[in-house]
Structure 1
Amino acid sequence: MNNKAINGMSQRRWLIGGLAVAALAAVLWAAYRPRPLVVETATLAEGRFEQVIEEDGRLRLQQRYTVTAPTAAQLQRPTLKVGDAVQAGDVVAVLAPSAPSMIDARTRGVLQERVGTADASLAAAVANVKRLQAALAQATLEAERADQLAKDNFIAASARDQARLAREAAQQALRAGQAQQAAADHALGEARAALQRAQPGSGAVAQGLWSLTSPVTGRVLKLHKESAEPVAAGQPLLEIGDTGALEAVVDVLSGDAPRIPPGAVVQLATGRAQPPLAGTVARIEPQAFTKVSALGIEEQRVNVVVALDAKADDLQRLGDGFRVDARITLSAQDGALLVPSAALVRQGDGWQVFVVEGGKARTRTVTFKDRHADSAWVQDGLKAGDVVILYPGSAMTDGRPVRVRSAP
C-alpha cells in the first residue's frame, strides 16, 4: 500500500473521530443545558389603585321602639305577627284589668263576717240619722217658739239666741250623721264587692280595656309576649321599627380606625347575586371593645357606623341584624401602574420583580408608592406593557430561560 492510500485512510479516521466527538458534545450539551422554566405571567397596565379595609358587619335599624305595659294588667292575646306592617296610631296591644287573686275558705268567711259588720254599722248610722233628724225638728220648734216669745218680750234676747244656736248645732249634727251613714253605706258596698270576688265561679274580669298604639309606622320586629298572660308595669310587649331606615355597623381593628377618613365610600355586599349597597362612613364610635377572633386571639375593635345611600324600597328585602361584607375605601388613584403582589420578591430592604425579555427572566428593582394584599402602585422600575413573572420560586434567577405557560 502506497503512502497516498495510507494518508487517505488516516484522514478518514480523524474525520470520523472528530464527528464522533462533536456528536458526543452535542448530546452532552442537550442533556445538561438549562431547560426553560414554565411560568405564569401578567402584563402590566394602568388602572385604579384603592387602599381598602375589608371587614364583615351587620345591618341595624336607625330607630327602634319598644312598646311596654304602662301598668300591671292582663295582656290579651296579640293578633300581630313578626313582620306585620303597622301604621302610627294602630292598636298593637290590648290590656285588661288584672284578675283578682284566689281566696281560701277561711278568708271567704272573714269577708262574710265583714259584710255583716258593715251592714250593722249602716243600720246604726241610719238609726242615728233618724235620731238627729228628730233632735233637729225639736230644736227648730224651740227656736221658733223662742223667736215668738222674744217678740212678745216674755223672754230675754239671750234665751232666743241660745235656741237658735241649738238649732244650728242640731243641723250640723245631722250632717255629720248623714256623712257617717254614707261612709257605712260605702263600706258595706266594698265588703260585698270583696265577697263577690271570693265567690266560686266569679272569674269574670271587669271591663275597662286599655289599647296601646304604635308610636311609628314600620314593622313588628319582635314579640316578647305571644299569648294572653299577666304583665308587670314596664314589661316589654313588642318591638317596632322602620325597616326602610337601616344603617350598617362594621367593627374594625382599633389600629385601622384612625386611617378611615370621615365620609369614606363603603360598598356592602349582602349576598350572592345581590347588587352591593353603597354607603358612606357616618361616624366612628369613640369606645373600643374586645373581640376574640376565629383564631382565638383577643382583638381591640371599634364600631364604624355606615349611612346607606339606598332607597327605602330597596331596603325592604333586608332586615335588622342581616350580615354584610364591607369594603371601606381609604384612598383611591386613577391611572396608577399596577403590579400584582404575587410578582413582588423581597430583596434586602427593597423589592424586585422578574420581567420576561427575549425568553429569559430579567431582574428589575422597583419602588412603589403604596401597596395592599392584591397589588402595588409602582413608582419606578417598570412601565406599562412589561410582562412580569408571577410566583417566582427559589429556582428563578436573572437570565434564566423561561417559557410562558399557555392558557388552558
Structure 2
Amino acid sequence: MNQMRMLRIIAGISLAAILLGTLVWALLPKPVLVDLSEARRGPMEVTVAGEGVTKVREKWAVIAPVTGNTLRSPVDVGDQVAKGSTVVAVIQPGEPAFLDARARRLAEVSVEEAAAAVRLAEANLTRSDAELAHIEVELERTQILAKRGTVSVTMLEDAEQSAITARAERDVALYELEQRKATKVRMEAQLSAPTMPDPDSEPGECCLRITAPQDGIVLDVVDVNARLVEAGTALLTIGDLSDLEIEVDLLSTDAVEIESGAGAYVERWGGKGVIKAQVRRIDPSAFARVSALGIEEQRVRLLLDILSPPEQRQGLGDQYRVFVRIVTWAGEDVLQISQSALFRHAERWAVFVEEDGRAALRYVEVGHMTGDTAEVMEGLVPGERVIAYPGAAIHSGVKIEPRALSEDPGD
C-alpha cells in the first residue's frame, strides 16, 4: 500500500516537472529570424548614372557648290558610299524664267535691233572692203610710178599709209560685225523656252556630279526629290558608324566627381552585353535645363569614347539612346557590406553583428557607397556576419537565428 502511494507521488512529481518545464520553455523568448550578410573583401566601384545619345564623331555635310536644280537623290539613307567614286548628288543648271507678254515683246524688239545692227555692220564691212581694194590698187600704181621716177617718195609714203589705215578700218568693221552677231545670238537666247538637260550626258556637258567626300554611310538626305537649290544649301550627311562617341548630360554636382579618362559602362543600349567606354572631355561650362518635374537644373555635357570594338556593338547607330555608368572611384581590395545592414545610432553608423547566436551592436566607419554596397573603413573584419534589414525586434543581446531559405525567397 505504501509502495503504491509512493509510486503515485513520484508520478505526480514527474508530471508536474514536465508541465513546469513545458511552461518555462514556452515562456522563454524565441530567437528572432534574421537575414545575415557577410562582410567580405573585393573590388568595388562608385559610379554616376546618366542618359546619353550616340553620335558619329565626324560627319561630312555635302553642300551644293552652285545654284541649280538637283535631280532626285541617287542615294538613300543607309546606303554605303565610297570616297571619290559614289555619286551622291547631281546638279543641273537653273532653268530660264518664263517670259510674260511684255517681257517677250521687249526681247523680240531686242532681237530685231540686234539683227539691224548686224546688217549695218555687214554694210560697213562691205564698204571697208571696197575702200581697201581701191586703195591697194592706187598703192600698186603709185609703186610702179615711183620706180620710174614719175612720182615723189612723199606720194609713195602717203599711199602706203593710206593702205595701212584702210586695212585697219577693214579689221574694225569685221570685228564689229562679229560683235553684233554675238549680241544677236544673246538676244535670241532670251526667247528660248526652258529645256531639261540630258542627265545621261558626259560630266560637264549638262550637270555637276558630286561624289562622296569620305567613305561611310548616308546618315541623312535633306530632300530626296528634285528641287531648286541655292549655293551653300545642305544636301545630305555622311558618317562612319564604326567611329561613334557618346554624349551625356549630367548634373553639375555629379560632374565635379568625374575626371577625364574615367572608365564607363554603357548598358541598356538594346543589344547584348555591356559596352566599355572612357570619358574624353568634360565641358568647362554648364547649361540650364528644366527637368520633367519643372525644376531648373545645371547640366554639364560629357563626351565619351567607345572602347569596345564594332563587333561587340552591332546595330548601334547615330543618335541612339543609351544609359551610362561613369566610374568616379574604384578599389581593388575593399571591405564591404550590404547597405541594408547599416542604420544610424547616436548620430553614427552602426550594424548588428552576429556573436554566438546573439545580436551585438557595433559602430562602424563607412567610406564610399554605391548601389546596395558600402565600404567599411573600421569596425568589422572580413567574414563577420551582419544582420540585414534589422527590425524593431532586434536589439543588442537578443538571440537570433538565420532565416531558412524556404522562409526567405529573396536570399
Q: What is the Cα deviation at residue 130 of structure 1?
A: 0.3
1:126 aligns with 2:118: no
Structure 1 pair 302–123 and aligned structure 2 pair: CA distance change class (3 A):
same
Other structure's SS at 1:176 match: helix
Paired residue for 1:332, among 324, 330, 333? 330
The answer for the alignment partner of 2:202 in structure 1 is none
1:98 aligns with 2:94: yes
Superposition TM-score, scaled by structure 1 size: 0.86
Structure 1 pair 187–160 and aligned structure 2 pair: CA distance change class (3 A):
same
C-alpha contact (below 8 Å) 1:341/1:376 kept by paired residues:
yes
Structure 1 pair 272–383 and aligned structure 2 pair: CA distance change class (3 A):
farther
Paired residue for 2:169, among 167, 173, 178? 173
State the distance in 1 between where 2:267 and 2:371 align.
Answer: 19
The answer for the alignment partner of 2:362 in structure 1 is 364
Q: What is the Cα deviation at residue 243 of structure 1?
A: 0.5
Stretch of structure 1 that moved more, 98-107 or 291-300: 291-300
Other structure's SS at 2:111 match: helix
CA offsets 1:210-246 (integer angstroms, 9 cap, x no match): 1100011111100101111111111111111010111
Other structure's SS at 1:287 match: coil
State the distance in 2 between where 1:49 and 1:281 align.
Answer: 19
Q: What is the Cα deviation at residue 108 of structure 1?
A: 1.6
C-alpha contact (below 8 Å) 2:363/2:379 kept by paired residues:
yes
The answer for the alignment partner of 2:248 in structure 1 is 250
C-alpha contact (below 8 Å) 2:82/2:215 kept by paired residues:
yes
C-alpha contact (below 8 Å) 2:271/2:313 kept by paired residues:
no
Identity over aligned residues, as a percent?
33
The answer for the alignment partner of 1:284 in structure 2 is 282
Q: What is the Cα deviation at residue 349 of structure 1?
A: 4.1
Q: Which runs of 5+ in 1 are unaligned?
A: 1-11
1:42 aligns with 2:24: no
Structure 1 pair 359–316 and aligned structure 2 pair: CA distance change class (3 A):
closer
Other structure's SS at 1:280 match: strand
Structure 1 pair 357–316 and aligned structure 2 pair: CA distance change class (3 A):
closer
The answer for the alignment partner of 1:275 in structure 2 is 273
The answer for the alignment partner of 1:69 in structure 2 is 64
State the distance in 2 between where 1:366 and 1:237 align.
Answer: 64
Mapping of residues 168-207 of structure 1, within 5 Å: 168-197=164-193, 202-205=194-197
Stretch of structure 1 that moved more, 203-212 or 336-345: 203-212
Q: CA RMSD in A?
A: 2.8
C-alpha contact (below 8 Å) 1:243/1:315 kept by paired residues:
no
Structure 1 pair 161–70 and aligned structure 2 pair: CA distance change class (3 A):
same
C-alpha contact (below 8 Å) 1:48/1:333 kept by paired residues:
yes
State the distance in 2 between where 1:272 and 1:187 align.
Answer: 68
State the distance in 2 between where 1:324 and 1:65 align.
Answer: 24
CA offsets 1:337-393 (integer angstroms, 9 cap, x no match): 111112111234421111233443221100133333422211221122222222234
C-alpha contact (below 8 Å) 1:244/1:313 kept by paired residues:
no
Other structure's SS at 1:256 match: helix
Mapping of residues 2-401 of structure 1, within 5 Å: 37-89=32-84, 90-197=86-193, 202-205=194-197, 208-272=206-270, 274-394=272-392, 396-401=394-399
Q: What is the Cα deviation at residue 35 of structure 1?
A: 6.1
The answer for the alignment partner of 1:406 in structure 2 is 404
The amino acid across from 1:93 in the alignment is A
> Structure 1: which 4+ aligned runs deviate by more than 6 Å?
none
C-alpha contact (below 8 Å) 1:57/1:250 kept by paired residues:
yes
State the distance in 2 between where 1:72 and 1:106 align.
Answer: 27
Stretch of structure 1 that moved more, 60-69 or 385-394: 385-394
CA offsets 1:309-336 (integer angstroms, 9 cap, x no match): 2223444521011122212222322232
Other structure's SS at 1:165 match: helix
Q: What is the Cα deviation at residue 404 of structure 1?
A: 3.8
Q: Which runs of 5+ in 2 are unaligned?
A: 1-8, 199-204
State the distance in 2 between where 1:340 and 1:273 align.
Answer: 30
Count of aligned pairs between the two proteins: 387
Structure 1 pair 188–43 and aligned structure 2 pair: CA distance change class (3 A):
same
The amino acid across from 2:43 in the alignment is R
Other structure's SS at 1:281 match: strand
C-alpha contact (below 8 Å) 1:75/1:229 kept by paired residues:
yes
The answer for the alignment partner of 1:5 in structure 2 is none
Superposition TM-score, scaled by structure 2 size: 0.85
CA offsets 1:69-104 (integer angstroms, 9 cap, x no match): 111111111132111111112111111111111211
CA offsets 1:33-58 (integer angstroms, 9 cap, x no match): 76655443322222211122221212
Structure 1 pair 335–196 and aligned structure 2 pair: CA distance change class (3 A):
closer
The amino acid across from 1:204 in the alignment is M
Stretch of structure 1 that moved more, 178-187 or 396-405: 396-405
Structure 1 pair 180–273 and aligned structure 2 pair: CA distance change class (3 A):
closer
The amino acid across from 1:353 in the alignment is V
Stretch of structure 1 that moved more, 104-113 or 284-293: 284-293
